[in-house]
Amino acid sequence: QKEVEQDPGPLSVPEGAIVSLNCTYSNSAFQYFMWYRQYSRKGPELLMYTYSSGNKEDGRFTAQVDKSSKYISLFIRDSQPSDSATYLCAMTVGVLGVQGAQKLVFGQGTRLTINP
Amino acid sequence: SQTIHQWPATLVQPVGSPLSLECTVEGTSNPNLYWYRQAAGRGLQLLFYSVGIGQISSEVPQNLSASRPQDRQFILSSKKLLLSDSGFYLCAWRGAVNTEAFFGQGTRLTVV
């Protein structure tokens, strides 16, 4: 079983729709949760970052974490064609015996297309 | 502000040739540094991470190695490339404990 599971899609929705992207994880030691957006042939770009259960909002984006269910979500409101990209969830876990070290583990990424 | 540089952007190398990809970070000290590989349409596979000069941890056995000769420099190398080494290689950094990670723009490697 992978540590982080993410539906690879592809996901295609009309412009203006609300998009829900999700990841589940198995390691309860994961501490920090991030969502990245990656355009084709580019490096991932950080969208949202959170460490506690609950919601965090930034413009049209809302990140939701439920640590009891080991489930995180990213919601995109009023989706735009420019939101078309691959979205990756990522989580950090400390490395035993190495102070300050954190491993970043990624989901597979969900390919999203917003149709005008 | 902090920035991360990764080069080259694209590279085509013959099988059996050596490889050296470089990543440097500016504007921070003692970052955690990471090398990832992304196969077409796939997620990111962690290859190496480093918490300090000369400290390298490898995640998967492979034909690659990494080195950190300076605090803000991370190098990915191979002595003899295989076809299976083709992919999109990404370098990332994060600061002190409890901060998010940032990526370079990646190197697209094609081994022919």
Q: What is the 3-state secondary structure (H, E, C) of chain A?
A: CCCEEECCCCEEEECCCCEEEEEEECCCCCCEEEEEEECCCCCCEEEEEECCCEEEEECCEEEEEECCCCEEEEEECCCCHHHCEEEEEEEEEECCCCCCCEEEEECCCEEEEEEC
Q: What whole-number percentage of chain A has pLDDT above 90?
A: 69
Residues of chain B with confidence (pLDDT) below 70: 41, 61, 96-98
CB contact under 8 A, B97 and A102: yes
pLDDT in tens, A20-31: 999 999 999 898
Owning domain of residue A21: 4-109
- Domain-located, residue A116: no
In chain B, positions 42-101, which contact chain A (CB-CB < 8 Å)? 42-44, 46, 49, 51, 57, 88, 90, 92, 94, 96-98, 100-101
Owning domain of residue B21: 3-111
CATH code of the domain covering residue A93: 2.60.40.10
- Domain-located, residue A41: yes
The arithmetic mean of pLDDT across residues A54-76, rounded, is 95
How many structural domains is chain A composed of? 1
pLDDT value of position A103: 84
Cα distance between residue B4 and residue B73, in whole Å:
10
pLDDT value of position B97: 64
CB contact under 8 A, A42 and B102: no
pLDDT exceeds cutoff 70 at A73: yes
pLDDT in tens, B10-23: 999 999 999 999 99
pLDDT value of position A84: 97
pLDDT value of position B58: 86
CB atoms within 10 A of CB A50: 17
How many structural domains is chain B composed of? 1
CB contact under 8 A, B51 and A98: yes
CATH code of the domain covering residue B64: 2.60.40.10
Q: Which residues of chain B have a CB within 8 Å of the CB of A32?
A: 98, 100
Shortest distance between the Cα of B78 and any Cα of chain A, in A, equals: 22
pLDDT in tens, A81-113: 999 999 999 998 887 777 767 888 999 999 999
- Domain-located, residue A9: yes
Q: Which residues of chain A have a CB within 8 Å of the CB of B88?
A: 41
Cα distance between residue A88 and residue A66, in whole Å:
17
- Domain-located, residue A15: yes
